[in-house]
Structure 1
Amino acid sequence: MHVEEIMNRNVVTLNPTDSIAKAHELLVEYKIRHIPIVDKDNLVVGIVSDRDVRDASPSIFSSADSNSNILEKEISSIMSSPVLTAHPLDFVEEVARIFYDREIACLPVVHHDKLVGVITEKDLLYTLIQLTGTHVQSSHIEVKVPHKPGILPEVASIFGKRSVNISSVLVYPFRNDPDYKILVFRVQTMNPLPIIRDLRDAGYELMWPNNIPEPRL
């Protein structure tokens, strides 16, 4: 999945010469946490967060004149620059790694150096929900398998024999053992017991559910 499939294209932006007060107004009005700062050619020159604005805002103990002066400062005085960006054709999982490694919550998305969208940690979380199939009614089954070529279609064929659709498949490492993997299936059935029996009959170890007795016909 590419970034362009989940990014927000309706981006609220500011110019570097806009005031801190205007940034605060937009953050509140649109209920957002980040605003890209662009120049007249729509090139990203900075980014400002609600925390940046909050930290720059005057204390309640400051005088009214002082408050006004601070809030009328240009947003360029508090924006972060240069800005880390993503490309519309970047893979979502690679961008998620950037979010984790760099401890960020928002990335402007640029094409030919111009702003075309933004992606946030909330966008990534919702995408994860979709990729794992947890947004639809389904059953969760985890199978321990040897780490060898062809094992995924081999296990998936057991679901096919029961005419059960697979909503999603994930592959996890099994602890620190490189010889095994965990296949995590989300399947569109509310009665997984026949499949559980078939998997056990085929010799597979179930990590979940692992406390349901073998069903009997």
Structure 2
Amino acid sequence: MIVEEIMKTEVITLSPTDTIERALTLLNENHIRHLPIVDKDHCVIGIVSDRDVRDASPSTFDDDPNPAELKNEIRSIMTSPVITVHPLDFVEEVAGIFYEHEIACVPVTKEDRLVGIITEKDMLYTLIQLTGTNVQSSQIEVKVINKPGILPQVSQVLGKRKVNISSVLIYPYKEDANYKIIVFRVQTMNPMPIINDLKEAGYEVLWPNMPGMSP
């Protein structure tokens, strides 16, 4: 999945000379948390978050109806330079950027111009879709030897039951690098026949593997 499939294209922006008061109004009216700052060519030159704006705003206990702080230009508090991504970048790579830089939003640019935005909420929703947890299904975790061709071998066992596979994830088995875990999410509420097939084929099912389940 690539960025342009999940990004929001209707982005509310500010110019660097807009006021902090204007930013506060836009954040509150639109229930958003980030505002890219763009120049006259619609190139991203900065970004502000709701926290930036709150920190720059006067205390709620201030009696002044027109505090001077709110009249300051937004460029005085914006973060610059800005980390951006391209519409054709892979979503998985963007998730790494979010984690590595501890950010909650990235503008999307093409030829240096703003074309969209991705937030951490967008990333979480995409993760839900990629893992298949948004549909009724059962999760099966299988411990397998880490060798080429193992995934189609295990998938062939599931194929005998003619169930839809919502998603497949693979991650290392921490206790032994010679093994890995394949996580299948299958569209059935009774995974027992599949689990029994896997065990009969010699595979170790880690989940579900609760007391009382047939070996």
TM-score range relative to shorter protein: over 0.9
Give the aligned partner of residue 147 of structure 1. 146
Cα-to-partner distance string for 1:77-107 (whole Å, 9 max, x where unaligned): 1111111101111111111001001000000
Matched, 1:25 2:21: no
Give how far 1:190 is off: 1.1
Give the aligned partner of residue 121 of structure 1. 120
Matched, 1:191 2:204: no
Query: For residues 60 and 29 of structure 1, what CA distance do their matches in structure 2 show?
Result: 18
Give the aligned partner of residue 55 of structure 1. 55
Query: For residues 27 and 209 of structure 1, what CA distance do their matches in structure 2 show?
Result: 45
Matched, 1:9 2:9: yes
Kept in 2, the 8 Å contact 1:145–1:151? The answer is yes
- Quick one: structure 1 residues 160 and 61, their matched pair in 2 at CA, closer, same or farther if it must change by over 3 Å? closer
Give the aligned partner of residue 136 of structure 1. 135
Cα-to-partner distance string for 1:102-122 (whole Å, 9 max, x where unaligned): 000000000000000000111
Q: Report the aligned-residue RMSD.
A: 1.2
Query: For residues 184 and 213 of structure 1, what CA distance do their matches in structure 2 show?
Result: 19
Kept in 2, the 8 Å contact 1:159–1:165? The answer is no
Unaligned runs of 5+ in 1: none
Query: For residues 90 and 112 of structure 1, what CA distance do their matches in structure 2 show?
Result: 14
Give how far 1:142 is off: 0.2
Aligned-partner SS, 2:177: strand
Cα-to-partner distance string for 1:155-184 (whole Å, 9 max, x where unaligned): 001111111111100001111411000000
Give the aligned partner of residue 93 of structure 1. 92
Query: For residues 138 and 118 of structure 2, what CA distance do their matches in structure 1 show?
Result: 30
Unaligned runs of 5+ in 2: none
Give how far 1:60 is off: 3.5
Query: For residues 192 and 205 of structure 1, what CA distance do their matches in structure 2 show?
Result: 15
Kept in 2, the 8 Å contact 1:6–1:119? The answer is yes
Query: For residues 60 and 133 of structure 2, what CA distance do their matches in structure 1 show?
Result: 45
Give how far 1:205 is off: 0.5
* Residues matched between the structures, number: 214
Query: For residues 14 and 184 of structure 1, what CA distance do their matches in structure 2 show?
Result: 44
Cα-to-partner distance string for 1:109-139 (whole Å, 9 max, x where unaligned): 0000000000011111000000000000001
Give how far 1:63 is off: 5.1
Instruction: Give, as a single letter, the amino acid of the residue that structure 2 aligns with 1:88.
Output: P
Give the aligned partner of residue 203 of structure 1. 202
Aligned-partner SS, 1:183: strand
